[in-house]
Amino acid sequence: MANCIRCGRQLPPFSWKKICQWCVRHEAAQRGEEGDDVRQPVMPVPWARQGESTITLTHVIFGACIAVYVAMSIASGSPTSFPDEIFEHFGANNAVYTLTGQWWRLFTYMFLHSGLMHIFFNMWCLWDLGRLCESLYGRWTYGAIYLITGVSGGLASAGWHPGVASVGASGAIFGLAGALIASFYLGEFSLPRVAISGTLRSLLVFAVFNLVIGQVIGGVDNACHIGGLVSGLALGAVIARLAPHADAPLRRAGVIGLVALGVVACGFGVERWRGEAMRTYRAFDGAKGDQIARLQLIVKQQPNLVPGHFMLARAYVEHQRYPEAEVELKKVLELQPGNIDAQVDLGMIYLDDKRPQDAKDVFAQMIARDAGSADGHYGMGLVLASQRDYQAAVDEFKKAAASPDTHSSGIYYQMGNSYVNLKNYDDAIAAYSKEKEISGDNPDVESALADAYAAKGMTQQSQDARNRAAQMRNGEQ
């Protein structure tokens, strides 16, 4: 049976016409050839699916996301803030676990959300894009697109941000947008050109706007968005070109299966790229009693694995085995001379091992290579403070705080300690207050602030700070 070349509706049997009655009358009305009182014939839209339940797959996905969010809220005791262990328990996509055997996280992360605004925006987009995509593709093709593009977004996130947990439906939602863009652009659905162009513009604006916003705003996983969008474009394109007709289910299933195999291949590629490092990090996070043995085995099997030596050094530090930690960090720097984390850890080991001159040499080398190194100036400040050169330490802490790559947390606390030793209590109070502003509540900062107030004779402020410190410590127990 032939279809209308304008809108895709089925034409009557044995018809020699190329345009259906609806399009003939619609185009006549557009040209002003029909009177205002003439009614347009009612015909079903070409993409409508008959005989399917009124409960759509979009409804099911929407409900699942809401149900999981409610469960997370009950488990954490709060509907707005979830601790890391809740995300881990419910299946967040964290490369440390995903790439070391827990591949199911590539599916579960799509149903988790980090807060009310996160789930509100994602469900709003899902409601619009999901219903449109499901009406055009049909339920099962739509479901395949949602899952495949969501997994693709999760793989992109695990590869690009391996140390960050990812949650949310946005990767799959971007996948839906990509599939729709490809399908409309390549002409899978023969809708009137006016309807297609408006929807296509809206989809392009949605994709570009959200990618730009994700780049500007911190904490947005654009790698996941891009992975979902690119896989959606590819999947929509191959469906449009190779299996555009829903009445050929085996052909469409074969095309979708081929794309799914491509995603699986990409998964193995990401695992080869990041897997060894992730297994090392997981070995470090395991039971503390045997973490050193596990890490020793890893570096024995792969002597040039930088993350293995680095995490073994940190395990040695936790057990105060400083000479062995020094050996491992020097091995890291031999393999990767520009590794800043290894340089910082080596300097800190020297400080903990009462070797201030060795620590000073390490941090001086960092500053010589990069005069604006926040870590270098911060470490140098700690060395100078340990040598009781408090004014020079304050100067280094100020340089660290002013550096563009500063981590800020802890700098003002150490600066305040040096001011206290200089008996400059006003500046010490200002530094401790700045630390509270940056890092939030901390009992050690409150106690130091209480001592500074007491040294100035500010008894009431000192007592208030001590009470706050005691409450914080009681809360931690």
* CA–CA dist 178, 373 (Å, integer): 42
Q: What are the angstrom distances between the C-alpha of 16 and each of 3, 9, 11, 21, 371? A: 11, 14, 9, 13, 80
pLDDT at 45: 53
Percent of the chain at pLDDT above 70?
Answer: 84
Which is more confident, 248 or 225?
225
Q: How sure is the predictor about 358, in pLDDT bands with cuts at 50, 70 and 90?
A: very high
Q: What is the mean pLDDT of the chain?
A: 85
CB contact at 8 A, 138 and 49 = yes
Tokens, residue 298: 């890893």
**Which pLDDT band, with edges at 50, 70 and 90, does 75 fall under?**
very high
Domain extent listing, the chain = 1-37, 61-274
Structure confidence by residue, pLDDT tens digits, 178-207: 998 888 888 655 455 555 565 666 667 777
What is the number of alpha carbons within 13 Å of residue 182 lying toward its C-beta? 23
Between 218 and 91, the more confident residue is 91
Please tell me which residue, 285 or 144, carries the higher pLDDT value.
Answer: 144
Transcribe 305-360 into DSSP letters: -HHHHHHHHHHHHHTT-HHHHHHHHHHHHHH-TT-HHHHHHHHHHHHHTT-HHHHH
Contact indicator for 106, 98 with CB cutoff of 8 Å? yes
Name the CATH superfamily for 61-274. Rhomboid-like (1.20.1540.10)
CB 448 within 8 Å of CB 439: no
Higher pLDDT, 230 or 246: 230
The percent of residues in the chain predicted with pLDDT above 90, rounded, is 49
The pTM of the full predicted model, rounded to 2 decimals, is 0.65
